[in-house]
Chain A
Amino acid sequence: MKSYTEQDNRKKYMTGGIGLILLTTGICVSVAFGTVSISLSEIFGIFTGANEGGMYHIMMNIRLPRIITGALTGINLALSGAILQSVLKNPLADPGIIGISAGAGLFAMAVMILLPSYTHAVPPAAFTGAILTSLIIYLLAYDGGAHPLRLILAGVALAAFLGAFMTALMVFYSDKVQGTVNWMAGSLSGRSWIHVRMILPYTVLGLFGAVFGSKYLNILMLGDDAARGLGLSVEKVKFIMTILAALLAASAVSVAGLLGFVGLIIPHITRLIVGSDNRLLIPFSAVFGAITVIFADTAARMVFSPYELPVGVVMAFLGAPFFLYLLKRRTR
């Protein structure tokens, strides 16, 4: 019986090690490859200050901020999904369920279509829309307590409602829809240090909050009655964690657009690998979220170079089959 835990621990250390190696590799590959390739010695030169030419500019002002924005987006979405899956006790929960995508989508689209000269206002608008929508859903679902099923139903209903507005916008302004397509599919094209600065505070807050809250999430997963029996303030924990998840996802979609998939699949895949203990699930989800977005974005830039695919497309294209494979292997 002892070997059970030993085996488990070894698996966890290995998963962690592999994760870190993949992350580093991903960053290096992503920095090096693109429309212009940068060699390892050039990268080294840029870091030591020896190289300050065009390569320096490409790496420091184009690729690196884009990679970091992608990594932080991945971390935020994966954390948000992991938190929501525990709070709602539903492995199919993702940030879309609490209205993030619908709210952010509608607000961002409204700005892009109705106020096309204010593109810099898209991220704050998306953020506001996401937070507002999730608050409304929480209020709608609250009846002496936020019951997961009511929350999910309210989320689905409100998403359909806001979706109708989006469709109406698209129909009335069909000539201007073109510009919104990339954003709707989730794209990291042209992201700069401004975007890094926009999302970073939420990543830091989210990581602290989620790691700190992971033991409460564990207790919450025993069910409301059992959690209350253990002296946990169930409603308070649910509310704080839901808000945290909303902030994380809202900040992610505000810089990268409607990037689906990460929030749903990454925590799920991570759970298949490390188990459902949130103390492991949370940090590992963050790492895997970052890896996935970095690799997918590199592929998005390279596959049809010099044209770019939206990163969301690549992610769904590669990730969904991988997810199905894991699921199948697990159930066998």
Chain B
Amino acid sequence: MSLLSCESLHAGYNGKTVIKNISLSFQEGSMVSVIGPNGSGKSTLLKCLGRLIKPTEGRVFLDGRSISMLNSSEIARNIGILAQSPSAPEDIPVHCLAAYGRSPYKKIMSSFTKEDREIVNWAVSAAGLDDKRHMPIGRLSGGERQRAWIAMALAQQPKILLLDEPTTYLDIHHQFEILELLQKLNKNCGLTVVMVLHDLNLASRFSGRMIALKNGETALDGNSDEVVTEKNLYDIFRVKSRITESDGCRTALYTGVA
């Protein structure tokens, strides 16, 4: 059975439909990229899967149960979701931000236990921020800040992590750093990762499965060999390109708009 799935999902804002009839399922331990042009509904799909917005039609299932039937803390213990460029007060130290990830496990009056503390420490280490533990997030670099948010999501101990453009505004070094971190968590901890990415070449390098959206519908769904082709890029992004293959990874070289 798939860990997370959706069935004929429709959703939008203010009466305007953004995604139409999307049905997908995500296997445990997979690492999936969602790609597509601006406005194709990538973020909306991710928000529906993470129940940040309610679909107008269709349902989302977590472990076979409809998430509209689950309480929000229970969902937060299974799904970690990071929106695009989240912001927080600048003076929160990294370990405090990570500690907020424990809140879905807390009842109204319960206090922070030794176990919570250990999990937060693990999350901060796993995100590679051991030496920045007490640093206020306002003093971190862009890449470190993104990893601090990932630490928060990890402290939720989710089975699946949904990320909306986790590499936006980062230079190429930090983009790789974030994606290698996610790959490591996927391989070593079995964390299922679904991420919206803009960069096709990074998506093809780091994810076994790529889903392309166009005009709110699933246009393509497959591995990078199937998705990253000159014809597909033309159809979906309206760009001319040449596909090359280096160290087993398909890379597109764009040559102009179509």
Least CB distance from A245 to B in Å reads: 19
The CB with the most chain A CB atoms within 10 A, among B47, B51, B92, is that of B92
User: A228–B100 contact, CB under 8 A?
Assistant: no
Interface segment, one of B79-87, B207-215, B226-234: B79-87
Query: Using an 8 Å CB-CB cutoff, how does the interface string of A188-216 with B read, 1 for contact, 0 for none?
Result: 00000000000000000000000000010
User: B86–A222 contact, CB under 8 A?
Assistant: yes
Query: Using an 8 Å CB-CB cutoff, how does the interface string of B72-110 with A read, 1 for contact, 0 for none?
Result: 111111011111001111111100110011011000000
What B residues does A233 contact at CB under 8 A? 72
The CB with the most chain B CB atoms within 10 A, among A223, A231, A233, A276, is that of A231
Interface segment, one of B22-30, B116-124, B131-139, B174-182: B131-139
Q: Contacts A4-B93, A223-B86 known; A232 to B72 CB distance under 8 Å?
A: yes
In the bound complex, how far is the Cα of B103 from the Cα of A233, in angstroms? 12
Q: Is the interface of B mostly helix, strand, loop or mixed?
A: mixed
Cβ-neighbour of A276 out of B76, B87, B92, B101 (below 8 A):
B92
Cβ-neighbour of B83 out of A2, A229, A231, A232 (below 8 A):
A229
Interface presence of B219 (CB below 8 A): no
Cβ-neighbour of B52 out of A218, A225, A276 (below 8 A):
A225
User: B131–A1 contact, CB under 8 A?
Assistant: yes
User: B80–A229 contact, CB under 8 A?
Assistant: yes
What A residues does B86 contact at CB under 8 A? 222-223, 225-226
User: B100–A231 contact, CB under 8 A?
Assistant: no
In the bound complex, how far is the Cα of B89 from the Cα of A5, in angstroms? 17
User: B93–A231 contact, CB under 8 A?
Assistant: no
Interface presence of B192 (CB below 8 A): no
Least CB distance from A221 to B in Å reads: 6
User: A1–B135 contact, CB under 8 A?
Assistant: yes
Q: Contacts A4-B93, A219-B100, A221-B89 known; A231 to B135 CB distance under 8 Å?
A: no
Least CB distance from B87 to A in Å reads: 6
Least CB distance from B162 to A in Å reads: 9
User: A225–B89 contact, CB under 8 A?
Assistant: no
Query: Using an 8 Å CB-CB cutoff, how does the interface string of A219-257 with B read, 1 for contact, 0 for none?
Result: 101110110111111000000000000000000000000
Least CB distance from A230 to B in Å reads: 5
User: A223–B88 contact, CB under 8 A?
Assistant: yes
Least CB distance from B148 to A in Å reads: 11
User: B135–A230 contact, CB under 8 A?
Assistant: no
The CB with the most chain B CB atoms within 10 A, among A1, A2, A229, A231, is that of A229
In the bound complex, how far is the Cα of B87 from the Cα of A221, in angstroms? 8
In the bound complex, how far is the Cα of B134 from the Cα of A5, in angstroms? 7
Q: Which residue from chain B places its CB closest to the CB of A215 in the assembled complex?
A: B103
Query: Using an 8 Å CB-CB cutoff, how does the interface string of B42-63 with A read, 1 for contact, 0 for none?
Result: 0000010011100000000000
Query: Using an 8 Å CB-CB cutoff, how does the interface string of A276-300 with B read, 1 for contact, 0 for none?
Result: 1100000000000000000000000
Interface presence of A17 (CB below 8 A): no
What B residues does A277 contact at CB under 8 A? 91-92, 96
Interface presence of A116 (CB below 8 A): no
In the bound complex, how far is the Cα of B136 from the Cα of A5, in angstroms? 10
What B residues does A230 contact at CB under 8 A? 76, 100-101, 103-104, 156
Interface presence of A45 (CB below 8 A): no
What A residues does B93 contact at CB under 8 A? 4-5
What B residues does A232 contact at CB under 8 A? 72, 103
Q: Which residue from chain B places its CB closest to the CB of A231 in the assembled complex?
A: B76
Least CB distance from B244 to A in Å reads: 38
What B residues does A229 contact at CB under 8 A? 50, 52, 76, 79-83, 153
In the bound complex, how far is the Cα of B135 from the Cα of A1, in angstroms? 8
In the bound complex, how far is the Cα of B97 from the Cα of A219, in angstroms? 9
Least CB distance from B106 to A in Å reads: 8
User: B88–A221 contact, CB under 8 A?
Assistant: yes
Known contacts A218-B100, A276-B92; 16 additional CB pairs below 8 A are A1-B131, A4-B135, A219-B103, A225-B86, A226-B83, A229-B50, A229-B82, A229-B83, A230-B101, A230-B103, A230-B104, A231-B72, A232-B103, A275-B89, A275-B91, A277-B96
Give the 8 A-B residue pairs with the shortest CB-CB distance, closest first: A231-B76, A276-B89, A225-B83, A231-B73, A231-B104, A229-B81, A4-B134, A231-B72
In the assembled complex, 23 residue pairs joining A and B whose CB atoms fall closer than 8 Å, in A order, are A1-B131, A1-B133, A4-B135, A219-B100, A221-B88, A221-B89, A222-B88, A225-B81, A226-B82, A226-B88, A228-B51, A228-B72, A229-B76, A229-B80, A229-B81, A229-B83, A230-B104, A231-B72, A231-B73, A231-B77, A275-B89, A276-B90, A276-B91
Residues of A participating in the B interface, judged by any CB pair closer than 8 Å: 1-2, 4-5, 215, 218-219, 221-223, 225-226, 228-233, 275-277
Residues of B participating in the A interface, judged by any CB pair closer than 8 Å: 47, 50-52, 71-77, 79-83, 86-93, 96-97, 100-101, 103-104, 131-135, 149, 153, 156
